[in-house]
């Protein structure tokens, strides 16, 4: 007999709707039934968990994380890649994963270890085995970048010694296809490509991989059943990626309406990463949260997001957490509502839409019978006030309870 748990929240929010007087019956790792207490049959054998005053939601998802990074105002990105060992970074990532789960994020798509090899594949395994606590992970291993188009930038260091790079370099169709296959061989669930980077003569962002290279990488990834995510800030790189048939474009700060329309037509989803733009502005532009005017890069991110909204592109929730502290993923939803989404839209992005983007929408992202019991309860109603997501009281993943705060009052 599987263990049965009955959750009795103040209300349930799922798939854009609020349900009062509904309970959730969890059996083993899945949701067995959802509905009015009477509809659930005999529940006398269940452990009952009351969550009065709370809204029960599907576990939240962040589709752009870096568990192997920590904030740049603690240690610069270069120093993390060059001076921190993989063991040290993995120890940190374990703590980061637990902090993330405890704040209600039960699924992450982690888009590159940034110089920590395939430690993400092992972390995922340790989480799945129940050795350490963390969200469900979809991992990318090493990102793939055009030769010389990433960091640490060689021009900033002595040239008579070699040093590690934050991603795997490739040039030409043959190399990029090989790179994709190497990533898959090591356990990548997703292929992460950098479509552009700060490689211009004055450090401006320019497209890196050619159309031909991107097409070949996507074909190789799809042959192996792996979807593709592309970092792209410029129109050129976004358009090349969309034409190549990738699944998601990350950042998209420079995207015009025309480019987002091309993404919509090609069925490419958008992850706006608004919070990282704020964080980098704090570290490098003297931006003070809730005080300063938006910096140039924040305004650019905002324009991109509003263009995407207007063009009705599929917009998921992806924050680029890592450069800002793990466990603060919810800041992305707050930003999405500041820039034009309703709280319910932002919640949908972080649950049902994210599940669809990662093709897990038959098991994740909704409170439905048969789905994984990934559930979070927060005090109050986040579909009215998104900041209520900060008041997490209860977290369940695969039917196991990871957080259970005492009832309020
Ligand atoms: Zn990123």
27 CA to centre of ligand 1 in angstroms? 36
For residue 151, being part of any structural domain is answered with yes
Could you tell me the distance, in angstroms and rounded to a whole number, from the CA of residue 64 to the centre of ligand 1?
6
Distance in Å, CA 151 to ligand 1 centroid: 13
Domain match, 269 and 380 both = no
203/67 same-domain check: yes
In a domain, 148, yes or no: yes
CA–centroid distance, 396 to ligand 1, in Å, is 27
What is the pLDDT, as a whole number, of residue 142? 98
Within a 10 A sphere around the Cβ of 349, how many other Cβ atoms? 27
CA 323 to ligand 1 center in whole angstroms? 9
Ligand 1 centre to CA of 20 (Å) is: 38
> What's the gap in Å between 286 CA and the centre of ligand 1?
22
100 & 223 share domain: yes
Q: What is the count of structural domains for the chain?
A: 2
CA 367 to ligand 1 center in whole angstroms? 29
pLDDT of 249 reads 98
* Reduced 3-state DSSP string for 167-228: CEEECHHHHHHHHHHHHHHCCCCCEEEECEECCCCCCCCEECCCHHHHHHHHHHHHHCCCCE
Considering only residues 390 and 159, tell me which one the structure prediction assigns the higher pLDDT.
390
- Residue 215 shares a structural domain with residue 79: yes
Q: Is residue 409 part of a domain?
A: no
* Residue 111 Cα to ligand 1 middle (Å): 6
Residue at token pair 């420079």: 254
Question: How many A from CA of 217 to the centre of ligand 1?
Answer: 19
Regarding whether 389 and 247 lie in a shared domain, the answer is no
In this structure, what token pair is assigned to residue 72?
């740049």
Cα(253) to centroid of ligand 1, in Å?
Answer: 13
Query: Residue 401 Cα, ligand 1 centroid: separation in angstroms?
Result: 29
Q: Which of 262, 347, 351 is nearest to 307 (CA)?
A: 262
- Both 126 and 53 in one domain: the answer is no
Distance 320 CA to ligand 1 centre (A): 5
Q: In angstroms, what is the span from residue 267 Cα to ligand 1's centroid?
A: 21
CB 355, CB 317: distance < 8 Å: no
Domain assignment present for 110 = yes
Structure confidence at residue 161 (pLDDT): 78
Q: Output the CA 52–ligand 1 centroid distance in Å.
A: 37
CA of 277 to the centre of ligand 1 (A): 11
Higher pLDDT, 155 or 172: 172
Cβ–Cβ under 8 Å, residues 150 and 169: yes
Q: What was the pLDDT predicted at 400?
A: 98
CA of 70 to the centre of ligand 1 (A): 12
Give kind and range of the element (H or E) at residue 92. helix 86-102
Cα 330 to ligand 1 centre (Å)? 16
Torsion of CA 80, 83, 85, 91, to 10 degrees: -40
Q: Domain of 249?
A: 60-357
pLDDT of residue 342: 98
Question: From ligand 1's centre to the CA of 233, what distance in Å?
Answer: 12
In the reported structure, the alpha carbon of residue 99 is separated from the centroid of ligand 1 by a whole-number distance in angstroms of 19
pLDDT higher than threshold 90 for residue 6: yes
* Tens-place pLDDT, residues 23-46: 999 999 999 999 999 999 999 999
| Residue 159: predicted pLDDT | 86
pLDDT for the residue numbered 162: 79
Q: What pLDDT score does 169 carry?
A: 98
CATH code: domain of residue 386 = 2.30.40.10
Say whether pLDDT at 1 is over 80: no
Percent of the chain with pLDDT over 90: 96
Q: Pull the structure tokens for residue 248.
A: 């998601």
Distance 65 CA to ligand 1 centre (A): 6
pLDDT, mean of residues 393-401: 98
For the chain, percent of residues with pLDDT exceeding 70: 100
Instruction: Give the tens place of pLDDT for each residue, 319-364.
Output: 999 999 999 999 999 999 999 999 999 999 999 999 999 999 999 9
Q: What is the pLDDT of residues 110-152, one digit of tens each?
A: 999 999 999 999 999 999 999 999 999 999 999 999 999 999 9
DSSP-derived pairing of the beta strands 248-251 and 228-232: parallel
* Residue 134 forms part of a structural domain: yes
Residue-wise pLDDT tens digits, 176-205:
999 999 999 999 999 999 999 999 999 999
Q: Give distance in angstroms: CA of 196 to centre of ligand 1.
A: 13
What pLDDT does residue 409 have? Answer: 61
34, with CB counted inside 10 A (0-12, 13-18, 19+), is buried
Q: What CATH number is attached to the domain comprising 338?
A: 3.20.20.140
Phi, psi angles (nearest 5°) of residue 299: -65, -35
User: What count of Cα atoms within 13 Å lies in the side-chain half-sphere of residue 285?
Assistant: 15
Q: Please tell me the distance between residue 276's alpha carbon and the centre of ligand 1 in angstroms.
A: 9
Ligand 1 centre to CA of 68 (Å) is: 11
Please say if the pLDDT value at position 309 is more than 90.
Answer: yes
Instruction: Say if residue 257 is in the same domain as residue 207.
Output: yes
- Split at pLDDT 50, 70, 90, the class of 78 is very high
What residues does 392 pair with on adjacent strands?
Answer: 378
Return mean pLDDT, the chain: 97
Residue 395 reports pLDDT greater than 90: yes
What distance in angstroms lies between residue 50's CA and the mean position of ligand 1's atoms?
38
Same domain, 90 and 160: yes
The bridge status of strand 47-58 relative to strand 4-14 is: parallel
Residue-by-residue DSSP string for 213-274: HHHHHHHHHHHTT--EEEEE-SHHHHHHHHHHT-SEEEE-TT--HHHHHHHHHTT-EEE--H
What pTM value is reported for the model?
0.98
Distance separating alpha carbons of residues 190 and 180, to the nearest angstrom: 10
Banded pLDDT at 235 (limits 50, 70, 90): very high
DSSP letters spanning 297-349: HHHHHHHHHHHHHHTT--B-----BSSS-TT-TTHHHHHHHHTT--HHHHHHI
Please state the rounded mean pLDDT for residues 198-215: 97
């Amino acid at each position: 007999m599987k263990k049965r748990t009955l959750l009795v929240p103040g209300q349930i929010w799922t798939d854009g709707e609020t349900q009062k007087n509904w309970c959730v019956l969890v059996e083993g790792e899945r949701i067995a039934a959802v509905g009015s207490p009477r509809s659930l049959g005999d529940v006398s054998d269940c452990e009952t968990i009351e969550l009065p005053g709370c809204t029960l939601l599907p576990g939240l998802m962040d589709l752009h994380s870096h568990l192997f990074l920590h904030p740049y105002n603690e240690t610069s990105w270069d120093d993390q890649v060059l001076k921190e060992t993989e063991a040290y970074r993995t120890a940190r990532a374990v703590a980061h994963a637990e902090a993330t789960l405890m704040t209600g994020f039960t699924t992450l798509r982690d888009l590159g270890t940034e110089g920590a090899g395939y430690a993400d594949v092992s972390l995922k395994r340790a989480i799945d085995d129940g050795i350490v606590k963390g969200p469900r992970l979809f991992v990318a291993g090493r990102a793939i970048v055009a030769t010389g188009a990433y960091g640490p930038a060689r021009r900033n260091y002595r040239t008579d010694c070699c040093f590690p790079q934050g991603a795997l370099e490739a040039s030409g169709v043959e190399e990029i296809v090989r790179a994709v296959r190497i990533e898959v061989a090591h356990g990548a669930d997703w292929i992460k490509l950098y479509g552009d980077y700060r490689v211009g003569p004055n450090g401006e962002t320019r497209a890196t991989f050619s159309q031909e290279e991107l097409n070949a990488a996507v074909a190789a990834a799809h042959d192996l059943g792996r979807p593709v995510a592309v970092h792209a800030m410029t129109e050129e790189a976004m358009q090349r990626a969309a034409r190549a048939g990738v699944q998601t474009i990350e950042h998209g700060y420079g995207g015009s309406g025309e480019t987002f329309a091309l993404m919509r037509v090609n069925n490419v989803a958008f992850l706006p990463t608004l919070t990282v733009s704020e964080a980098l502005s704090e570290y490098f532009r003297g931006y003070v949260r809730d005080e300063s005017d938006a910096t140039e890069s924040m305004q650019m991110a905002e324009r991109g997001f509003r263009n995407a909204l207007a063009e009705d592109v599929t917009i998921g929730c992806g924050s680029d957490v890592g450069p800002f502290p793990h466990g603060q993923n919810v800041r992305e939803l707050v930003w999405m509502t500041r820039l034009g989404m309703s709280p319910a839209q932002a919640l949908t992005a972080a649950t049902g839409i994210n599940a669809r983007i990662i093709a897990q929408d038959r098991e994740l992202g909704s409170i439905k019978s048969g789905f994984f019991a990934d559930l979070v309860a927060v005090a109050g109603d986040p579909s009215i006030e998104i900041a209520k997501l900060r008041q997490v009281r209860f977290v369940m993943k695969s039917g196991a309870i990871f957080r259970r705060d005492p009832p309020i009052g």
